[in-house]
Structures are given as C-alpha cells and as structure tokens.
Amino acid sequence: MPELPEVETTVRGLERVLLGKHIARVEMRRGDLRRAFPPDLGQRLTGAKVTGMGRRGKYGLIETDRGDTLVFHLGMSGKWRVDPGELHPHDHLLIETGDGRRLTLNDPRRFGSVDLVATEEVDSWGPIGKLGTEPTEIGSGMLHELLRGRTAPIKALLLDQRIVAGLGNIYACEALHRAHIDPRRAAGRLSRERVARLVEAIREVIAEAIEAGGSTLRDYARPDGELGYFSARFSVYDREGQPCACGGRVRRIVQGGRSTFYCPRCQH
DNA sequence: AGATATTCCTGGAGGC
DNA sequence: TGCCTCCAGGAATATC
C-alpha cells in the first residue's frame, strides 16, 4: 500500500537507474488504469533524457529534457520492477534505457495512473494542484488553522490529501497512536498543543519509514528484482486484539468505510 | 459547503 | 480440494 514513504523510496530507487539516462524504448502493454495512458506517451518519451526525479504527495515525477514530466501514482497495488526477468501479466508499462536497463510499472488492481504533464505546469496540474502541504513542511499553527471548525474525525481529515499530502491509512493510524490522539476526536476540537504533537508524530513516522525503506532499497536488486517496500513493525496498524506498548489492547473500528486501528488506553 | 457513501479492480484470506 | 464471499486500499464522483 504505497503511501508517501513508499513513493519516496520508489523514486530514489528509480533515480539510480534513470537519472541522466536516455529512454530508448517505451512499450504500453495495457493502458486502462485509473485513466488511460496518454496515447502519445511512447513518442514523447522515446529518445528523451531524464533530467530530474521528484515526488509530490503520493505522486512520483520523472522529468525529461523535452519539457515533459511523467507523473505516476501507484494506487494501492502499483510498483516499479527494476530489470524484471520476464514480463508479468500486470506489467502495464515498460521503459528501456539507453544503457539497457528495463523498468516496468506493475499494478494488478489498476488503481494507479500515468500522465504526461508539461514540467512547468506540474505544480498546478489537476490532481497535484489540489494537494495540501507536504508533511515535512507543515507547521502546527498552519495545521491547527486548517482543522479549525471541522467536525469530521481527525483520522478522516488526515486521509484528505487536500490538507496534508501523502498520508494513507497506515501512517494516519500510526501517527495518531504516536501522538496519543483518539482517531474519533473531532479535528477542530484538538488543542494547539495536541496538533503540535500530531505534526511531530507525522514527521517522525514518515521519516522512520523512509529510512527503513531506504535500507530495504540497498538490496533492491534482489532475485525478484522488485523495489523493496517498507514492512515495519507497526504499533497499531493491522494489530487488532494485540497488546499495545502501554499495556492496552489494539482495537479496530470503521471510519468512513476504512479500518482504523488504535489503542483506547493511550489514545484520547 | 461539509460529511458520508459509492465506485473502480484483483488477489488473498477465510468459511464451509 | 474447491468454490464462494468478503475485504483491502486511493481518489474521483455522487448524494445527503
């Protein structure tokens, strides 16, 4: 389930293979993901040189010297495979570099997307233009202001990409646990101090996940050739019924159709 | 406008 | 073993 840390790790992995390299060949195998692939994706990428790599929220960015940026989203099952041996059924896009490396975008559930956007328009481009602040850049005063008057549970608003960009279900749960905040609490009723604690927790959880992902990345050229995803020991996520560090028991509830895991003993 | 529900899709888990 | 149902998730869209 790629959230910000997994996308960041993916981008760093792709950077080693792509940055400064020419794209020799592009093969669109199945283009009907969330959106159809741009029909001219192949011709606009073929022969181009990759001049930069980046990330915004959960979107990965591959910038070329033609003024285009490939914007990808991994949805929930997407991943890039580096030098895959043979192609798999869900390898929807294949990119070959001038020095013979191969990359495939694999996404069984096809919730992901691939778009080609003029580089100078990326920041204002539809989905990215609507995104809120990066977790690393948001201040507690700013978040407190954004949450003011909101009656929805804090958990639901942490998943709203227009407020903070990049959190998904896992890290929203983990951050709330670390900040000792009850996920059901109305977002607008959190004190300034608790919002500050939440911001700190979000930053820590994200940073640790990226660090752990980076260490997995060191051996990303494993036999299966896949980029390694962060698989940490979560404190609460997917741990229903198991003990919390405080001695409580992790509970699962449903909010907005999504599972929330939290500890009733230490989250208030 | 804000909150909530529904939709897309496939693989894996669990039930019988 | 095999078949069935259900569930996971992000983001767009619909509905209250």
pLDDT digits (tens, 9 = 90+) for A51-87: 999 999 999 999 999 999 999 999 888 889 888 888 8
Q: Which residue has the tokens 């609460």?
A: A236
Q: Return mean pLDDT, chain A.
A: 88
Q: Hey, where are the domains in chain A?
A: 4-129, 140-262
Q: Write down the pLDDT at residue A227.
A: 43
Domain A140-262 grouped into CATH 1.10.8.50: yes
Assess whether A130 carries a catalytic annotation.
no
What does pTM read for this prediction? 0.92
Assess whether A258 carries a catalytic annotation.
yes
Superfamily of domain A4-129: MutM-like, N-terminal (3.20.190.10)
Q: Write down the pLDDT at residue A233.
A: 67
Residue at minimal CA–C1' distance from B4? A256
- Average of pLDDT values for A246-265? 90
Does A77 contact strand C, using a CB cutoff of 7 Å? Answer: yes
Assess whether A63 carries a catalytic annotation.
no
Q: Write down the pLDDT at residue A37.
A: 87
> Which of these is catalytic: A44, A58, A81, A178?
A58
Question: Mind listing the pLDDT tens digit for each residue in A180-226?
Answer: 999 999 999 999 999 999 999 999 999 988 887 755 544 333 333 34
- Average of pLDDT values for A110-126? 91
CA distances from A182 to A173, A194, A264 (A): 10, 11, 7
Q: How many CB atoms lie within 10 A of CB A1?
A: 14
Helices A192-217 + A4-18 axis angle, to 10: 40
Does A75 contact strand C, using a CB cutoff of 7 Å? Answer: yes
> Which of these is catalytic: A3, A6, A8, A63?
A3
> Which of these is catalytic: A2, A5, A153, A183?
A2
In this predicted structure, the answer to whether residue A31 has a pLDDT above a threshold of 80 is no
